[in-house]
């Protein structure tokens, strides 16, 4: 089956994929017809914050980090040399809301695709934005084999 679509994931979705079986399962089931990407900085954020979340909950983080490593085989990391050419435009689009989110906007511009996020800061940036409660309207996962 040919890939039908591409999505850029914000760091909060990458973290949710670790913390939420529902999000992770949806990504896994959709991976045969969706290409998932996240900027390098988002994956770095997930690697930084997942252990802190588990530490705060007084839980071991090793299993969660293994899950993160596993989903890194599905979610492709976009390096700055790919999205960097779009940095100025991305910064202009997101400046009013959260200038630190420019790599996500730049990756979406570079890949010409929507963003999946729970962060309202992307709304109004001129890029289609999907939230977890609506992502199924954009892409239907493939049925279990």
3-state DSSP call for residue 135? helix
Q: Mind listing the domains of the chain with CATH numbers? A: 5-134 (3.40.50.1010)
Closest by alpha carbon to 18, among 145, 135, 41, 54?
54
Confidence band, pLDDT 50/70/90 cuts, at residue 145? very low
Does position 122 have pLDDT exceeding 80, yes or no? yes
Buried b (16+ CB within 10 A) or exposed e, 6-34: ebbbbbbbbbbbbeeeebbebbebbbeeb
Q: Tell me: pLDDT of 106 over 80.
A: yes
pTM: predicted TM-score of the whole model, two decimal places: 0.90
| Residues β-bridged to residue 8 | 37, 115
Q: pLDDT grade, residue 138 (50/70/90)?
A: confident
Q: Which structure tokens are listed for 16?
A: 């949710």
Within 10 angstroms of residue 51's Cβ, the number of other Cβ atoms is 16
Where is pLDDT greater, at 112 or 4? 112
Q: Is the pLDDT of residue 142 over 70?
A: no
């Amino acid at each position: 089956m040919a890939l039908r679509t591409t999505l850029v994931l914000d760091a909060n979705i990458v973290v949710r994929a670790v913390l939420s079986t529902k999000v992770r399962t949806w990504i896994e089931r959709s991976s045969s017809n969706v290409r998932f990407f996240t900027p390098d900085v988002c994956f770095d954020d997930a690697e930084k914050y997942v252990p802190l979340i588990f530490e705060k909950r007084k839980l071991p983080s090793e299993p969660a980090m293994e899950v993160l490593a596993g989903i890194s085989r599905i979610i492709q990391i976009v390096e700055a040399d790919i999205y960097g050419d779009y940095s100025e435009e991305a910064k202009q689009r997101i400046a009013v809301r959260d200038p630190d989110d420019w790599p996500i906007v730049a990756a979406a511009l570079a890949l010409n695709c929507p963003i999946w996020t729970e962060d309202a800061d992307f709304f109004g940036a001129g890029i289609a934005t999907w939230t977890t409660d609506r992502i199924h309207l954009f892409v239907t996962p493939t049925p279990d084999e």
